[in-house]
Amino acid sequence: MTVAAPARRTRVPRWDPLTVGVDIGGTKILAGVVDSHGSVVEVQRRPTTGHDVALVEDTIVDLVQGFQQQYDVAAVGVGAAGFVDASRSTVMFSPHLAWRDEPLRDRLTARMSIPVVVDNDANTTALGESRFGAGVGHRFVLCITLGTGIGGAIVLDGRVYRGANGMAGEFGHMQVVPDGHRCPCGNRGCWEQYASGNALEREARELVVARSPMAHALRELCGDDPDQLSGPQVTAAAQAGDPISVELIADVGRWLGTGVAGLVAAFDPSAVIIGGGVSDAGELLLAPTRDSMVRHLVGRGYRAEPPVVPAVLGPQAGFIGAADMARSAARRSRRADRRRDRRGRWFGVRDEL
């Protein structure tokens, strides 16, 4: 007797939705439609009106609804510059936006009727780089973003580590110099006062004020008005070969490496990714960062030293990561809908509707 082979189970293709990521900064809002491979289908940019909570919310809704007219959007992820609670729903405090205990997720969900997740912008940036950028192939990633201050996050096995209250990753406010420079957070000697865009500008301006003969190129850039001198100008001067600008960026790199060494000792990442505007200096910044990290790393010479690499997704990393978070939320919502549907069929609910 011939026994029939068992029927092969047909594999159902995984649902692969498009999602929208929104990155809200102090001066601009970037939003994009992103597929499951991290590819950006379309991107839009709007200015941020930070002191009008309702207007920022309106801008987000307008951007998403504009995308919905062209694409089948399954969910929205929002990266916000501020403290976001562990449930990823409420922006508890934002230093650059007028959000205080703002229930942003619920407000946006009520207006758009699709799943919404909210997270800190450094977390979304780290996830984007980890999943689709410089961190691909690494399970444990430390991401540092250098801008006006220092942001950061840890990605462990593909998940952002948020801590008990959603506030992990505020690395910029580790104290590295007791009684050092005053920080806007209220403390002294915070890491970001020595390794950030603000630190670079402060040091460069002090040289201009002191009329240092080494700062002649910087004085020409700002017309002898130190308040007009910016970090990108210093970076451009360094890239053009100005010795004092090269030295200033190297100083930032050395401070950066000192802090990174402590974080590597604490978290043992397999890669360190450096992003943000200050990282545009490239190897002028990264080379002294690596040297300083190795110099200060505990167990140096007897442990693996993680590579320190530049971010590759640029300003799009934040909304790409936010969109990826939203994709997970969309899939959870779909599974829940299916469970409700099955429960309804089991109890005859569908026949009554």
pTM of structure: 0.86
Which tens digits make up the pLDDT trace of 211-228? 999 999 999 999 999 999
- 167/88 Cα distance (integer angstroms): 11
- Please state the length of the chain: 353
- 94/300 Cα distance (integer angstroms): 38
Q: What percent of the chain has pLDDT over 90?
A: 73
The whole-chain average pLDDT of the chain stands at: 89
Given this model, what pLDDT does residue 9 score?
54
| Model confidence band, residue 329 (pLDDT cutoffs 50, 70, 90) | confident
| Model confidence band, residue 350 (pLDDT cutoffs 50, 70, 90) | very low
Is pLDDT at 140 greater than 60 in this prediction? yes
SS3 track for 203-214: HHHHHHHCCCHH
The tokens 């990442």 sit on which residue?
269
Q: Is the distance from CB of 197 to CB of 176 less than 8 angstroms?
A: no
Average pLDDT over residues 268-276: 96
Average pLDDT over residues 195-218: 94
Given this model, what pLDDT does residue 81 score?
84
Is pLDDT at 13 greater than 80 in this prediction? no
More confident residue, 308 or 352: 308
Average pLDDT over residues 313-323: 95
| Model confidence band, residue 27 (pLDDT cutoffs 50, 70, 90) | confident
Q: Is the distance from CB of 63 to CB of 45 less than 8 angstroms?
A: no
- Among the listed ranges 22-31, 135-144, 211-220, 266-275, which one has the minimum average pLDDT value? 22-31
What are the backbone dihedrals phi and psi of residue 16, each rounded to the nearest 5 degrees, phi first? -130, 75
Is pLDDT at 51 greater than 50 in this prediction? yes
Q: Which amino acid is at 303?
A: R
Given this model, what pLDDT does residue 12 score?
47
- 171/153 Cα distance (integer angstroms): 8
How many other C-beta atoms lie within 10 A of the C-beta of residue 100?
Answer: 11
Q: Strand order of the sheet with strand 18-24?
A: 40-47, 28-34, 18-24, 73-80, 116-120
Q: Which of 158, 157, 149 is nearest to 121 (CA)?
A: 149
Is pLDDT at 5 greater than 60 in this prediction? no
What are the backbone dihedrals phi and psi of residue 145, each rounded to the nearest 5 degrees, phi first? -115, 125
Domains and CATH numbers, the chain: 18-126+314-335 (3.30.420.40), 138-310 (3.30.420.40)
Given this model, what pLDDT does residue 349 score?
42
- 283/281 Cα distance (integer angstroms): 6
Structure token pair of residue 137: 């192939």
What are the backbone dihedrals phi and psi of residue 351, each rounded to the nearest 5 degrees, phi first? -70, -20
- 258/247 Cα distance (integer angstroms): 17
